Structure 1
Amino acid sequence: MPTVTHHHRSATVCSMIPAVMIVTLALLVTRQAPVTAQHTQYGVHGGVVYSLHAAQFTQLGDFASCCPSFTGGSGTGFLAGLHAAYRLSDKLFFVPRLTLVQENGSMQSEEWTFVADLRDTPRVRRAMFLHEFTSSVSSVGIEPTFLLGIVGNLSLTGGLRAAWVFDGSFTQRETLVEPDDYGSYLGSARTWVNYQEQIPDLSPFKAEVLGGLHYSLSVGKAQQWHLGTDVSIAIPITNVTSSAEWRTTNIRLAIAVSHGAKVPEADTSIALPLVPNADTVTLPAPPSLSPPEITLKLEGLIQNYRVPFDSVHVEETLIVDYLPVLNHVYFDEGSSTVPERYSTAAHRMVSDARLTPVQATTAILGIVAKRFREKPQTHITVVGSAGPDLALHGIRLAQQRAESVRASLVSLGIPKENIKVQWQADPLTPTRASDPKDFAAAEAENRRVEILVSESSLMRPLELQTVQTVVTPDDIAVSYNISADTTLRASQVFINDSSVHRSTALQHSFTIPSPTEPAELLVVATDVEHNTAKASASIPVSTLTIHRKKTEHRGNLEVERYSLILFGFNDATVTKQHQEILQIIRNKIRKGASVRVIGMTDVVGSKEHNTLLAQRRAEEVAKALGISESEIEATGSQAPQFSNNLPEGRAYNRTVIIEISDKQ
């Protein structure tokens, strides 16, 4: 699971505190006269902006991203502007400002997963993908604020900011970091995504609530010049972009210089009588304070339910997926260019790289080209269809689509003379939809080229192997209570010496992802008297690998999933071809194995109809296999294996999965 580290945020905030103290001290030292009230002041201000980003998105707009989620980060920018101050009373000023602000930020997410190392002895290795996201947003806005004197030269400030956002850009990178000696995406590249673009759907308007402290000094003989220090926070009301949950809270440190005419003040001093020195009184020493006490508790979270926690359990299971080969290549509206996803998967297949089930749905060109080497006498026919594009582009588009597929197959090594091109208006078995909301999905499935081969072995099912890792519990709930004789200054949580949480509350709770390696959790609490207390807990991890399962005869060693039966649109009939496939599966069921039959559909149609259709499909297959109805599940369109946003994904979701779990 991905983890995000933010300990650098608190370090940066702490590093700003000495700067504030130094500036304030400098103003105190250079003070020449007390502050005097002015009717009107005009000036300039500028400083630094420390931005805290709170986000919850995986990608921006249509820019591809594999990141599980960007959740937050920080960065440093600047501000500059003009201001005026209008005196409303002795202690109250109205201060309008015009301010330019640049907000910068950086977010990172570490995604831990597994890759197959095929060098020498094949093995599974842990891998870490680093997702990096940096941004810069510039805005200019008006800030109607009020300044209220509280004590001496110190004032409270508060108001609003309404700004026009005129620029916003971001940079995103996804890099394979570990293992550092093996692995790449395609070719030798270890960086998959590297964008430098404008932020999509950038909100043109930004609103913020302002609050903070202002310290001001009057200098010069006439006390007409004023130096001020502002420490404030800007809390956002609006998102950075309308297409994602992303807000930026700004901590602002600014220096202000202003000029205004002096207003004479009445002498309000009171002469006090002299008081003789009193006898010296010795006060007793204050009682000593005990350090804080911490009570720490860990609980497991499984599907958001709390369970007692003793350790994290990691279990590996070999998953063998048997997928049919869908002999379709789908095209975009009005286009005859083979989509990039087919070319990428084809080259991956031809280069003997391992495919995931999702990649296999678009690997038809590579599958045919690779298997053609085994049967070079095979004759291939590609049949193009114009589908709903016929009226606008004519039958010529169907021919161009078929020729594009032939050109792709030729580029993959199949002789041109072995490929015959045909075209037609619509596919022989087109997809039809009765509900208008499903028309677009049905039309997309009819923009296709079908690949027919004389050797059926070229279309035999794919066997894909992956190692599935299940971590229990999903997360760990951490809660702690602190009792202290005086005010708590802060508490901080560390996991293996890395700070993961910070709070000033006496009672706090949060969750962390379950680690896959043993970890030590430490809570440190400090009060305002610098008394410190610590509490720790171990997080043990037990890993049940495939090798341990074999030697100890524990758990499910292997799960075979057969998705070999693809049904026609809105169809649940088990055909003669299906019966042949079911006979192969029947022979694979070993004694003692558990079998599940899971009916599925695409998203075309209502949920209720799809659930019933999935149930009918599962019942028909279970009946043909001689399996009890108690082993039947019907998920319908609720838990798709593949994306329903693509036509090939919908085709692969019209299936029944036969899952065989073998303890061996």
Structure 2
Amino acid sequence: MIVKVDSLGKVDKNFNIKIEDFVSLNLRPLLTYVFFDSLSSDIPSRYKRLNPNQTESYTNKDLQNLDALETYYHVLNIVGKRMRDYPDATIKITGCNSNIGEERNNKDLSRDRAVNVRDYLRDVWGIEGTRMPIDSRNLPLKATRDDEPGGSEENRRVEITSTDWRITEPVVTIDTLRIISDYDLRFITETKSAVGIKDWKVNASFDGNELVNFKGSGNPKKELDWELNDKTPYYPRTAGNIFYSIQVTDSLGQTLESPKNRLPIEQLTIDRKRLERIQDKEFEYYSLILFDFGKHELHSEHRKVLDFIKERATEKSQIYVRGYTDAMGDDDVNKRLSERRAKSVADRLKLKNAIVEGIGEDMLLYSNDTPEGRFYCRTVQIIIETPVED
């Protein structure tokens, strides 16, 4: 049996798991850098590329329900689409290198990197080369220190710049946000064996994916606690059933498994909430254009986004401003840096009901194994929760 346990320890045997859909406006920054492997000018395979025919049907809808880093891997196509949509716009493509080891003073490599980016935009998206002048240099103008781990990796890049905001502005989509509440669950086990239990296993799964697996030797504990939330691997995202069972093996090697029990999952869709007039709210997620390494000052790009956000909040909105960093450098320094980033944003917003906090590197938004993952961690997120009026 599974029961739900509340914060006071009260047990509820009759409950369902609920998943709720919300309308979400999602604004995420576009990092217009393409990073390269050491001594290579080939565009890495993690960047999404199309053929000319596919560009005809490529729209902003292809970016719906993607997070900031997943969106970033479309950067070449986003820039290509915008350059096609705005034929008066131009960009500059600057190739860089790490300027250490075999890449030192290798401006030919920098140029080859820029040429490959230009050629993709020209050959696939049909953008005239005259609208995309290329340049080459050693280190980027705003280089990451190469004495930091991963610093040289961040400097091996092509930078796409434009004086036209329409080319580099953040990506905005209207998404469906699906939230599962936090549940403190408890398995209640009952086992008997005349010859003794050798080992046991308790398992729960959804749609063929294992959610939790307890196992041990001897008699199982009478109570096994389990936290189900959006951090659970393969957590349910649709209506259905969680199936769970206990399996025991006795001292003679005989294995028995209980019948599979089910825990129903209910989904509150947006249409259902509107039809049944269930109280609803909308979420808006804003991530700022990424901060330079070790910096917290706001740039003009930040201010444009913040002035837009100011107009979106109402008196009934709950607002969270959270600063983040990557894992490079000292933990305490990063904590203070994230606090300064969040405070810079909050001061600009001038919203009385905002909860402002610096997360630092305590919770990394993305893996720091890639340079783009580290860049996208150097951000401030603004979350606005607003009740939907009937």
Taking structure 2 as the reference length, the TM-score comes to: 0.77
Call closer, same or farther: CA 1:468–1:391 in 2, change over 3 Å.
closer
1:581 aligns to 2:305 (yes or no): yes
1:381 aligns to 2:104 (yes or no): no
Which residue identity does 1:455 align to in structure 2?
A: D
SS in 1 for 2:119: helix
2: CA distance, partners of 1:366 / 1:550: 36
Call closer, same or farther: CA 1:612–1:519 in 2, change over 3 Å.
closer
Which residue identity does 2:137 align to in structure 1?
A: Q
SS in 1 for 2:47: helix
- Cα distance, 1:399 vs. partner? 1.2
- Cα distance, 1:518 vs. partner? 4.1
Q: Which residue number corresponds to residue 287 of structure 2?
A: 563
2:140 to 427, 431, 449: 427
Which residue identity does 2:296 align to in structure 1?
A: A
1:450 aligns to 2:153 (yes or no): no
1:647 to 355, 366, 371: 371
2: CA distance, partners of 1:619 / 1:345: 41
1: CA distance, partners of 2:379 / 2:30: 13
SS in 1 for 2:311: helix
2:31 to 326, 330, 352: 326
Which protein, 1 or 2, shows the higher relative CO under an 8 Å CA cutoff with sep ≥ 6? 2
1:624 aligns to 2:313 (yes or no): no
SS in 2 for 1:566: coil
Q: Which residue number corresponds to residue 341 of structure 1?
A: 46
1: CA distance, partners of 2:258 / 2:140: 71
- Cα distance, 1:504 vs. partner? 9.6
2: CA distance, partners of 1:520 / 1:443: 49
SS in 2 for 1:387: coil
Q: Which residue number corresponds to residue 351 of structure 1?
A: 58
Cα deviation per residue 1:41-64 (whole Å; 9 max; x = unaligned)?
Answer: xxxxxxxxxxxxxxxxxxxxxxxx
2: CA distance, partners of 1:346 / 1:616: 44
- Cα distance, 1:487 vs. partner? 4.2
Which residue identity does 1:417 align to in structure 2?
A: T
1:481 aligns to 2:185 (yes or no): no
Cα deviation per residue 1:310-348 (whole Å; 9 max; x = unaligned)?
Answer: 422222233332012212111111211111112448998
2: CA distance, partners of 1:589 / 1:550: 22
Aligned residues: 358
Q: Which residue number corresponds to residue 21 of structure 1?
A: none
Cα deviation per residue 1:406-446 (whole Å; 9 max; x = unaligned)?
Answer: 1111122212232211111222222236xx4x2x4221221
Call closer, same or farther: CA 1:345–1:661 in 2, change over 3 Å.
farther
1:416 aligns to 2:119 (yes or no): no
Question: Conserved in 1, the CA contact under 8 Å of 2:204 and 2:245?
Answer: yes
- Cα distance, 1:535 vs. partner? 8.9
Which structure 1 residue ranges, 5 or more long, are not aligned?
1-296
SS in 2 for 1:542: strand
2: CA distance, partners of 1:533 / 1:388: 62
Question: Conserved in 2, the CA contact under 8 Å of 1:382 and 1:406?
Answer: yes
Call closer, same or farther: CA 1:308–1:547 in 2, change over 3 Å.
farther
1:298 aligns to 2:298 (yes or no): no
Which residue identity does 1:397 align to in structure 2?
A: L
Higher helix proportion:
2
Which residue identity does 1:662 align to in structure 2?
A: T
Q: Which residue number corresponds to residue 293 of structure 1?
A: none
Q: How does 1:505-654 map to 2 (within 5 A)?
A: 507-508=220-221, 516-518=239-241, 539-552=263-276, 554=278, 557-628=281-352, 631-654=355-378
Question: Conserved in 2, the CA contact under 8 Å of 1:622 and 1:628?
Answer: no
2: CA distance, partners of 1:567 / 1:373: 28
Which residue identity does 2:319 align to in structure 1?
A: V
- Cα distance, 1:298 vs. partner? 2.5
1: CA distance, partners of 2:257 / 2:144: 68
Which residue identity does 1:658 align to in structure 2?
A: I
Call closer, same or farther: CA 1:628–1:636 in 2, change over 3 Å.
farther
1:317 aligns to 2:22 (yes or no): yes
1: CA distance, partners of 2:375 / 2:333: 17
Q: Which residue number corresponds to residue 308 of structure 1?
A: 11
SS in 1 for 2:368: coil
2: CA distance, partners of 1:318 / 1:479: 37
- Highest CA radius of gyration, 1 or 2? 1
Q: How does 1:258-297 map to 2 (within 5 A)?
A: 297=1
1: CA distance, partners of 2:377 / 2:202: 45
Cα deviation per residue 1:613-658 (whole Å; 9 max; x = unaligned)?
Answer: 1101111111111124861121112222222221122222211111
Which residue identity does 1:431 align to in structure 2?
A: T
Q: How does 1:121-520 map to 2 (within 5 A)?
A: 297-300=1-4, 308-309=11-12, 310-311=14-15, 312-344=17-49, 351-352=58-59, 353-354=62-63, 356-357=66-67, 358-389=69-100, 392=104, 394-413=106-125, 414-432=127-145, 436=147, 438=148, 440-474=149-183, 476-482=185-191, 486-487=194-195, 507-508=220-221, 516-518=239-241
Which residue identity does 1:426 align to in structure 2?
A: L
Question: Conserved in 2, the CA contact under 8 Å of 1:382 and 1:420?
Answer: yes
Cα deviation per residue 1:264-321 (whole Å; 9 max; x = unaligned)?
Answer: xxxxxxxxxxxxxxxxxxxxxxxxxxxxxxxxx4234799x97734422222233332
2: CA distance, partners of 1:502 / 1:432: 48
1:656 aligns to 2:384 (yes or no): no
Q: Which residue number corresponds to residue 96 of structure 1?
A: none
- Cα distance, 1:462 vs. partner? 0.4
Question: Conserved in 1, the CA contact under 8 Å of 2:143 and 2:155?
Answer: yes
Call closer, same or farther: CA 1:521–1:383 in 2, change over 3 Å.
closer
Q: Which residue number corresponds to residue 87 of structure 1?
A: none
Call closer, same or farther: CA 1:487–1:603 in 2, change over 3 Å.
closer
Call closer, same or farther: CA 1:334–1:302 in 2, change over 3 Å.
farther
Call closer, same or farther: CA 1:519–1:584 in 2, change over 3 Å.
closer
- Cα distance, 1:544 vs. partner? 2.4
Call closer, same or farther: CA 1:332–1:552 in 2, change over 3 Å.
same
SS in 1 for 2:161: strand
Taking structure 1 as the reference length, the TM-score comes to: 0.47
SS in 1 for 2:88: coil
Question: Conserved in 2, the CA contact under 8 Å of 1:556 and 1:661?
Answer: no
Call closer, same or farther: CA 1:555–1:646 in 2, change over 3 Å.
farther
2: CA distance, partners of 1:330 / 1:623: 33
- Cα distance, 1:594 vs. partner? 0.9
Which residue identity does 1:408 align to in structure 2?
A: Y
Call closer, same or farther: CA 1:342–1:620 in 2, change over 3 Å.
same
- Alignment RMSD: 4.0
1: CA distance, partners of 2:374 / 2:170: 18
